[in-house]
Structure 1
Amino acid sequence: MPRKKKSYEAPKASWLTTYGDMVTLLLTFFVLLFSMSTISPGKFQQIVVGLRSPLTGLPPSVLTGGKSLAEEPLITSKRGVYEELMRIAEEYKGKITVQEKDEGTVIIMQDMAFFEPASAKLTVEAKELLGRIGAIVIEHTMNVINVYGYADDRPVPADSIYVSNWHLSSARAASVIQFFTDELKRRRSIERLADVRAGRFDPDYFYDPQRFYPIGMGDWPIRKEIEALQKEIEIERNLVLERFKAGEISASQYTASLNELERRYEARLNQLRNVYRRIDILIKRERAK
């Protein structure tokens, strides 16, 4: 009579219970760490673009971020710098704004007499402000810095050395950079002379002219806003004319309404011109070579 085969019994995997408990505890621990951490927008953006490129099949380029995403923005990487900029902005009562964009950190300074009329010569007030802001953003980063110059809609004088507002705005951007790389560099070298002698501060390193790029915006930004303003006023004029034709208002009321619209247009035009007394400084994520 044949022997009965013994049935095979699988070993009891009691260790899986302990292993599962351990993995659960580790997961809970890391979730706790993540919940107490602060997500860096700059790093998060790098991860998003890094995942997007292989999934979409598109190679990295300047259009999708490219090299500009290699550096974290100034605001998220250096909170002390941002806080100092905010303190200066509070002193100037809303004339300075700091924005974080895809390409980097933008410092917008407006509604101030940065230049003499129809000129690229910096005023004393402008040099004081640019000196304070420049010492912060230049000496705490080695990123590329773009400076944007502007002009308003009024044509340059006939005897001006500038052919157009485009030339004037470019010269204004170049004047700011020259101030940074020449006058401010000398001033900071004297103020930090002890650091220079001790080797703790190298002005040639931070104030390298190759970091800076002047960009003239011309008068097209303000002209776009003026065109929108003109269309708005024209619509209101047509409405007033229709009311007059329908007999809803008298001739004197019609004239008074037109005069009021003209005054409003001039007031808002002057306000726009004050806004475009402006300088923008962009600290790019791209590190200077």
Structure 2
Amino acid sequence: MKRRSTRRKSNSGAPKWMVTYSDMVTLILVFFILLFSMSQIDLVKFEAISESFKNRMIFEFYPSPVPMENPTENTSNQESGKNSNEFENPTQIENINDRDDTPEEAEDSLDKLMGDVGQYLDNNSLNNVVSASRTERGVVLVLQESILFDSGKAVIVDSGKPFLDKIAKLLSNIPNHVKVEGHTDNRPISNFRYPSNWELSGARASSVIRYLINEKNFDNSRFTAVGYGATRPIVPNTSAINWSKNRRVEMVIMENNTE
């Protein structure tokens, strides 16, 4: 007897569970479509989200995982700025002022100013009575009290006016702001005009500025008067020689953009 051959049933079409799964997905899709149709779109939020996607800052620094069809064309557009919105965001552009000096330029400006002042003092034989130094504030001219004032007074003596005239000629050649500072020693003073060293130092600084403005017609806005009293000695107040060094008027010729 021949053995009866068994026929294998061939499965045709999708599995039965796929029908149920597709029905469920269709119902869920219909459900979300109904929710969307009944909802109201907030135009303000929608425009904000849309604008955020337009801003290239979100995607600018991240490489795209999708290869470009025409990389050469897209690169040229990006380099030319055709597809960018750089000018739509002005806050991203660095604010550069032509008047702002870099630290190197400011340093060179002060060094040149110091050279000019030193040359002027040499040409006018002022090195014995006026000393100049270069600091972070600018160029500092130091005039001792004995050149300009009598002891305990703030009236410029006649013998000191020629020195101020020469300094005025120097200042007339440069537009820099000038800060005039009065200093005293630590010995107290008390009279009807100057109750303390504060008033005396401030009055001396003001006398120098008043002379330059009244006699040389300088602009008031160029000057600042400050009285430090005995708070900033350059040497210890321990002897008569040191006292005389601390009694001084300093004229700080400041860098151009420094007030």
TM-score range for the pair, normalised by the shorter chain length: 0.5 to 0.7
Matched residue, 2:119: 83
| In the alignment, structure 1 residue 218 sits paired with structure 2 residue 255 | no
Deviation at 1:280, TM superposition (A): 0.8
Matched residue, 1:232: none
Aligned equivalents of 1:163, 1:145: Cα separation in 2: 27
Aligned equivalents of 1:113, 1:122: Cα separation in 2: 9
Contact residue 114 and residue 277 of structure 1 kept, 8 A: no
Matched residue, 2:249: 279
Contact residue 133 and residue 140 of structure 2 kept, 8 A: yes
Identity of aligned residues (%): 23
1:156 to 189, 201, 205: 189
Cα 1:77–1:166, aligned 2, differ >3 Å: closer, same or farther? Answer: closer
Cα 1:287–1:155, aligned 2, differ >3 Å: closer, same or farther? Answer: same
Map 1:132-281 onto structure 2 (within 5 A).
Answer: 132-136=166-170, 138-157=171-190, 159-185=191-217, 207-222=218-233, 225-226=236-237, 229=238, 269-281=239-251
Secondary structure of the residue aligned to 2:254 is strand
Aligned equivalents of 1:79, 1:113: Cα separation in 2: 24
Matched residue, 1:131: 165
Aligned equivalents of 1:91, 1:78: Cα separation in 2: 15
> Tell me, which stretches of 5 or more residues in structure 1 are unaligned?
1-43, 49-68, 186-206, 230-268
Matched residue, 2:132: 98
1:47 to 86, 97, 104: 104
Deviation at 1:180, TM superposition (A): 0.6
TM-score scaled by length of structure 2 = 0.54
Deviation at 1:168, TM superposition (A): 0.9
Deviation at 1:120, TM superposition (A): 1.0
Higher helix share: 1
Matched residue, 1:72: 109
Cα 1:154–1:104, aligned 2, differ >3 Å: closer, same or farther? Answer: same
Cα 1:216–1:279, aligned 2, differ >3 Å: closer, same or farther? Answer: same
Cα 1:77–1:220, aligned 2, differ >3 Å: closer, same or farther? Answer: closer
- The letter for the 2-side match of 1:283 is I
- The letter for the 1-side match of 2:160 is A
Equivalent residues, number: 160
Contact residue 114 and residue 134 of structure 2 kept, 8 A: no
Cα 1:97–1:223, aligned 2, differ >3 Å: closer, same or farther? Answer: closer
Contact residue 200 and residue 229 of structure 2 kept, 8 A: yes
TM-score scaled by length of structure 1 = 0.49
Once the two structures are superposed, residues 190-224 of structure 1 have per-residue CA deviations (whole angstroms, 9 ceiling, x without a partner) of xxxxxxxxxxxxxxxxx110110011110123497
Structure 1 segments of 4+ aligned residues over 4 angstroms from their partners: 77-81
> Tell me, which stretches of 5 or more residues in structure 2 are unaligned?
1-100
Deviation at 1:154, TM superposition (A): 2.4
Structure showing greater radius of gyration is 2
- The letter for the 2-side match of 1:182 is N
Once the two structures are superposed, residues 74-110 of structure 1 have per-residue CA deviations (whole angstroms, 9 ceiling, x without a partner) of x51585543112333x4553x3211111221111122
Aligned equivalents of 2:204, 2:145: Cα separation in 1: 15
Contact residue 209 and residue 225 of structure 2 kept, 8 A: yes
Contact residue 234 and residue 245 of structure 2 kept, 8 A: no
Secondary structure of the residue aligned to 1:143 is coil
Secondary structure of the residue aligned to 1:112 is helix
Contact residue 144 and residue 245 of structure 2 kept, 8 A: yes
Secondary structure of the residue aligned to 1:225 is coil
- The letter for the 2-side match of 1:168 is L
| In the alignment, structure 1 residue 120 sits paired with structure 2 residue 154 | yes
Contact residue 180 and residue 249 of structure 2 kept, 8 A: yes
